[in-house]
Structure 1
């Protein structure tokens, strides 16, 4: 006898690609705490998409005529009645409601695995995803038709867990890290404060027997100088575009989103600022909206507060270092899943900033379709309100090392955000720009006067994320700029780039957490960080300066970025392969081992003249501020990318 059809509505898009029988490790324990989200559809989604496109398009009569949060919510958000029905349903089923944004786009809930199975028929199992155990549905989740009518998507999995994209020089070496409670080891004498300050003898490589040593960590002053802040100052007599102030981001607010919250961030930022000549931070220029430590959730899955603290410190120091006059708003999620979504909604629903730096991402696009398109709706809200979302492109190149296939990382792969790739930066002794290459490095250990493997080596030292999306079609703003051989009709990542290589990294101040339970910390120290987690806030800070100088809110900036690049201005630096193979010598502070780093080798991704999938249209510089201030319509296309 045939099985009668289910009276419920199935949501096949709720099953992530990794939740498949080959990865199945059996049923999740009944008492496993599970977080989920129900996404509600926008009213008039086509209209929301059209609005996002028009207000972001420099060639549109609607350019920069964005809506307020209240206007956007009134026009496009789910109705209060529909939202109340969904919330009431979850409460009636025993779910604990943990997130209800003003935009009403989703509801965050928690329950045990047994409760979630009962409500959604998901039969949650454990899955091995590239060495990490995740919980996800082994059956397609369902909802009663009466509730499904209000719902566009479901997530009841841990696949949306985001990770920070910062990197250290030892990240790829499998070296035993120093204990957080131990005093930091002194920098090796070999490191350099600028490119070529110190050199060392190496076994012959690429026709050379000497190599410059890795960078100890560039300072804010060096970054400002190398990326052309002085050019902007000199080009603006009287600083007329910045209301009598040197261009420093004054009048702008940059929001930063991460998980959890550093217990020492303000003290650390002020010690850092005093050391590097930056304005002090206080309630007038720094604010945070964060959960209390007792509200932190899913700490083991997310990498603990100690794993996210360097990200927050890096983000704050990078924004403050590139835009010392800007205000910074830090919003911390209570975890790295839906807590991040709630943090973003707080900014969007109150328009608390119009530049948002997001230095985290997923591994590739391996998230459920329901989650992915729920995120895109949030991005449409941001664009419609004139808020620019900047996402780091990732630190694992084309992701083959993690996934076994090539993929850009989401959310950076969305066509509605600005994806920031990475470079390696060489700064001269006087602070001037020497050169950049694409961030991507292969390390070869030096032992007994020889390399331990054929050059360039066999240790991947990290590289900027990028590549061609398997999900999103090519937006119009990329047409004519991104080579068709890369795009093949799809969105390509990144859009722009900035310093990311930890071997030419940035100095950051931090009092490292040494106990994730008590949040006790070690004394303040400085450490060197890189990753596209650095590139993203550096770019956000420069965008704050661009908005200050131009007097314009750029909002979703990709159409303006590509139009400016098409106009062949010097706003961006085209990052191209060097004539000679660039190398650095590195001595690990952890192991003492010596390595040769061969640069501009980023998995299957490569730099090229014009657009490339490592650095996008090029490296960000303060000169973009001049380009935007001088041209309301920076030229080039735009088109109907929003439709």
Structure 2
């Protein structure tokens, strides 16, 4: 008799507004990926605590060293292979460095292997998807070896954090939109073109048109960067022709990074919008031995409450690997204020809430000539969007946020009870947004999605000038004094801006040359 063990954190429930519409076809083939434990976890944890403390003597690991010392053990991979063979599943790909094994088989085979029941569901906003309830089970010899089983369900996991400007007349006398180069000048970015750097961008759908990119960079008078599309699982560069859909996100991200670092290579990792797709794409970017991005920009996310804890932990452990490799990850903090659009109280957005990313919030910016005249928390009201920010319920307070408090809109403040979000900010209001070209149309876009690539571009310039990656930057930024424009006006719902760090704009918007000095 083989004992089965429920996989911790794999519990799925039916969310409100979801109904079962039928059985899955048992003969349909799907791919599921299994994440394994890390070798020498205790030694890795010790390394991470030094990185989190900002210890300057820690050198980034090479991708080869990470794979050898902290990848998946050959014995563990062999156990998954044996398990797959016993259930008629095939091993489609194994990546010891990323600690992942991709399995392929029929729905019937996976249902029996992991003791789950897969059904087709319908949800009023998510549409139709394959889902499950309850936990995933694994046999004795995989108990403690497998950390996550992802891809059994393919419900849409995340949403892009961009907003297209509503069609109304901008206020007279104010510059109502900026090119990324104008913002780089206002934020005093150090000179540079990102030569020799690769910036990774993770996208869960949509695509870009090369004609848009060529026309856009030509209009700015900058060289066109090398843009590579990297398909992950069944993903690829598939523009839909709808600028309001994911194309808007993809094109915005590339145009902002490309304008700031035109001599860089931009690797765009396209995948399916599911927790499995999202996690696999970030993993492929972090462990990419061909393009080797030194900074990765993520403009997608979802409230912490909609992630299973196994997905969140699997994702977070990949973000830890990035920190160990010296790869900086910039993530948008969300566009729906302190509730993150969750409908249920205050929530922060994940992956921005991971302590291993630089979480990027939003401001509303007014400028005159070459200087900023006013910068406040981005909050354009219920319909218009606001900077995501607040306190994580999933992650404890990191070393570099000890002693901080979140200022409340109603007055007063409370000490952080978890990781505070965001870390930094930048222009994000569509009313003062970014001029970009999407699907042939000149458009003004905002959202914290624009801030992640803006910071990624800054970090790529700093990396190029330094000749080595700055890596995990949070500890250094929190220690440094006066490297950001402190935002002290406005709120994002429950939280208010205040002197120093706050749960709307973090430390503030970049003073690029000072950030470079601190890193």
- Shorter-chain TM-score: which interval? 0.7 to 0.9
Matched, 1:73 2:73: no
Aligned to 1:241: none
Q: 1:541-556, aligned counterparts within 5 Å? A: 541-556=457-472
Q: CA deviation at 1:531?
A: 0.8
Cα distance change on mapping 1:625 and 1:562 into 2, 3 Å = closer
Q: CA deviation at 1:309?
A: 1.7
Following the alignment from structure 1 to structure 2, what is the Cα–Cα distance between the partners of residues 160 and 95? 25
| TM-score (norm: length of structure 1) | 0.72
Contact 1:101 1:342 in 2 (8 A): no
Contact 2:275 2:311 in 1 (8 A): no
Q: CA deviation at 1:125?
A: 4.7
Q: Deviations over 1:364-421 (max 9, x none)?
A: 3421111111112111211111111111111111236433121101111111111111
Following the alignment from structure 2 to structure 1, what is the Cα–Cα distance between the partners of residues 207 and 148? 33
Matched, 1:346 2:290: no
Following the alignment from structure 2 to structure 1, what is the Cα–Cα distance between the partners of residues 498 and 180? 28
Q: Of the candidates 358, 365, 369, which is equivalent to residue 425 of structure 1?
A: 365
Matched, 1:479 2:405: no
Contact 2:18 2:123 in 1 (8 A): no
Q: CA deviation at 1:507?
A: 1.0
Following the alignment from structure 2 to structure 1, what is the Cα–Cα distance between the partners of residues 449 and 370? 23
Q: CA deviation at 1:122?
A: 1.8
Q: CA deviation at 1:481?
A: 4.0
Following the alignment from structure 2 to structure 1, what is the Cα–Cα distance between the partners of residues 398 and 52? 13
Cα distance change on mapping 1:544 and 1:149 into 2, 3 Å = closer
3-state SS of paired residue (1:84): helix
Q: Deviations over 1:427-451 (max 9, x none)?
A: 21x2321221111112xxxxxxxxx
Aligned to 1:502: 430
Q: Deviations over 1:565-620 (max 9, x none)?
A: xxx22x2000111xxxxxxxxxxxxxxxxxxxxxx452223212211111001112
Matched, 1:167 2:163: yes
Q: 1:237-316, aligned counterparts within 5 Å? A: 246-260=191-205, 262=207, 264=209, 266-281=210-225, 285-290=226-231, 295-296=234-235, 307-316=245-254
Q: CA deviation at 1:114?
A: 4.1
Following the alignment from structure 1 to structure 2, what is the Cα–Cα distance between the partners of residues 101 and 529? 38
Aligned to 1:621: 511
Give the number of equivalent residue pairs: 506
Consecutive unaligned residues in structure 1, runs of 5 or more? 171-186, 198-211, 233-245, 443-458, 512-523, 578-599, 630-643
3-state SS of paired residue (1:122): coil
Following the alignment from structure 1 to structure 2, what is the Cα–Cα distance between the partners of residues 251 and 406? 41
Cα distance change on mapping 1:573 and 1:75 into 2, 3 Å = same
Cα distance change on mapping 1:488 and 1:69 into 2, 3 Å = same
Following the alignment from structure 1 to structure 2, what is the Cα–Cα distance between the partners of residues 125 and 158? 11
Q: CA deviation at 1:148?
A: 2.9
Following the alignment from structure 2 to structure 1, what is the Cα–Cα distance between the partners of residues 21 and 181? 54
Q: 1:372-411, aligned counterparts within 5 Å? A: 372-399=312-339, 401-411=341-351
Q: Of the candidates 215, 228, 232, which is equivalent to residue 188 of structure 2?
A: 228
Following the alignment from structure 2 to structure 1, what is the Cα–Cα distance between the partners of residues 49 and 220? 40
Following the alignment from structure 2 to structure 1, what is the Cα–Cα distance between the partners of residues 281 and 75? 24
Q: Deviations over 1:168-213 (max 9, x none)?
A: 123xxxxxxxxxxxxxxxx76x336xxx42xxxxxxxxxxxxxx6x
Following the alignment from structure 1 to structure 2, what is the Cα–Cα distance between the partners of residues 434 and 276? 24
Q: Of the candidates 142, 148, 165, which is equivalent to residue 143 of structure 2?
A: 148
Cα distance change on mapping 1:47 and 1:489 into 2, 3 Å = farther
Following the alignment from structure 2 to structure 1, what is the Cα–Cα distance between the partners of residues 100 and 389? 29
Following the alignment from structure 2 to structure 1, what is the Cα–Cα distance between the partners of residues 2 and 243? 43
* Higher alpha-carbon Rg: 1
Aligned to 2:410: none
Q: Of the candidates 576, 581, 599, which is equivalent to residue 488 of structure 2?
A: 576
Aligned to 1:557: 473
Q: CA deviation at 1:27?
A: 7.0
Q: Deviations over 1:349-368 (max 9, x none)?
A: 23511111111112334211
3-state SS of paired residue (1:612): coil
Q: Deviations over 1:199-233 (max 9, x none)?
A: xxxxxxxxxxxxx6x82x3113321221123xx4x
| TM-score (norm: length of structure 2) | 0.88
Q: CA deviation at 1:67?
A: 0.9
Following the alignment from structure 1 to structure 2, what is the Cα–Cα distance between the partners of residues 296 and 551? 33
Q: Deviations over 1:607-641 (max 9, x none)?
A: 12211111001112313344226xxxxxxxxxxxx
Q: Of the candidates 44, 49, 54, which is equivalent to residue 45 of structure 2?
A: 49
Cα distance change on mapping 1:363 and 1:56 into 2, 3 Å = closer
Following the alignment from structure 2 to structure 1, what is the Cα–Cα distance between the partners of residues 503 and 120? 35
Contact 2:90 2:104 in 1 (8 A): yes
Bigger mean CA offset, 600-609 vs 418-427: 600-609
Contact 1:415 1:475 in 2 (8 A): yes
Q: CA deviation at 1:91?
A: 5.1
Q: Higher RCO, 1 or 2 (CA under 8 Å, sep at least 6)?
A: 1
Matched, 1:191 2:170: yes
Cα distance change on mapping 1:7 and 1:167 into 2, 3 Å = same
Aligned to 1:324: 262
3-state SS of paired residue (1:273): helix
Q: 1:393-542, aligned counterparts within 5 Å? A: 393-399=333-339, 401-428=341-368, 430-442=369-381, 459-483=382-406, 485-511=413-439, 524-542=440-458
Cα distance change on mapping 1:289 and 1:493 into 2, 3 Å = same
Cα distance change on mapping 1:276 and 1:528 into 2, 3 Å = same
Matched, 1:29 2:8: no
